[in-house]
Amino acid sequence: MFVKICGLSTAADVAAAVAAGADAVGFVLTESPRRVDPGLARDLVAAVPENVLTVAVFREEPAEYVRAAVQAAGVRAVQLHGNHPAAAFAELSDLGLPLIRATSAAKAAGADCGDLGEDLLLLDAPVPGAGEPWDWTELGAKPPAGKWLLAGGLNPANVGAAIAAASPWGVDVSSGVEVRRGVKDPALITAFLRAAKSA
């Protein structure tokens, strides 16, 4: 099970996620209480080992903005939230980085990974980063084909059941490993990794 811990903003967050065995760490470079600027993201990325994917998270900013921020931060993957057309992914393909399409599960019903040229699909709650669960069992009968991440309201207590219900390739969490909005808890990060990896 691939596990991404999102919304990291301190060196301690990064150290906790890496030590606990995260496969990817996310840095929010769009409007959010978890936002970090590309310069801070670059400093945090420098402490992440090569085998852990570093991901910059955006909403619907223009491709030029995304390209500049990604290059300044030095991340190795890009996550776009919202309702992007296939052209948005094509426009960023010259970065040569994995592109993650993050969208509300309700809007992406019947979608498969790669439909819009993405390398990884992330099915989320309607409001990203809000910690709101949705009915993952809806996907039970027809989960997306290909590599896809389940997100939205996951936490150490529910991630095992969510994985059993939806059979994702990986999971992504932010609020569920925080003590309050934007403040990560190393113990929750460790508990989430343990629960997801043993599911």
Ligand X SMILES: O=C(O)c1ccccc1NCC(=O)[C@H](O)[C@H](O)COP(=O)(O)O
Between 94 and 124, CB nearer to ligand X: 124
User: Is residue 6 annotated as a catalytic residue, yes or no?
Assistant: yes
Select the residue interacting with ligand X from 59, 67, 194, 197 (CB under 6 A): 59
Phi, psi (rounded to 5 degrees) for 144: -60, 150
Interface with ligand X by CB under 6 A: which range of 44-52, 136-144, 152-160, 161-169?
A: 152-160
Catalytic residue among 13, 23, 113, 124: 124
Residues 1-30 as x/- pattern, contact with ligand X by CB under 6 A = -----xx------------------x-x-x
The answer to whether the Cα torsion of 100, 7, 45, 82 is positive or negative is: positive
Between 141 and 184, CB nearer to ligand X: 184
Question: 86 to 145, contacts with ligand X by CB under 6 A?
Answer: 124-125, 128-131
CA angle (57 as vertex; 29, 155 as ends), nearest 5: 115
Q: Kindly list the distances between the CA atom of residue 123 and the CA atoms of 82, 126, 174, in Å, as whole numbers in the listed order.
A: 11, 9, 14
Nearest distance from C-beta of residue 24 to ligand X, angstroms = 10
Between 36 and 94, CB nearer to ligand X: 36
Between 56 and 116, CB nearer to ligand X: 56
Helix 159-166 and helix 186-197, axial crossing angle in degrees, nearest 10: 30
Quick check: 147 binds ligand X (CB under 6 A)?
Answer: no
Phi, psi (rounded to 5 degrees) for 136: -60, -25
Contact predicate 173/197, CB 8 Å: no
Interface with ligand X by CB under 6 A: which range of 64-72, 106-114, 167-175, 189-197?
A: 167-175
Contact predicate 80/99, CB 8 Å: yes
Which amino acid, one-letter code, is at 33?
Answer: P
Quick check: 152 binds ligand X (CB under 6 A)?
Answer: yes
Cβ-based neighbours of 148, under 8 Å, separated by 6 or more: 113, 120, 121, 122, 123, 168, 169, 170
* Contacting positions for ligand X (CB under 6 A): 6-7, 26, 28, 30, 32, 34, 57, 59, 81, 124-125, 128-131, 151-154, 172-176
Would you please indicate which residues are annotated as catalytic (active-site) residues? 6, 124
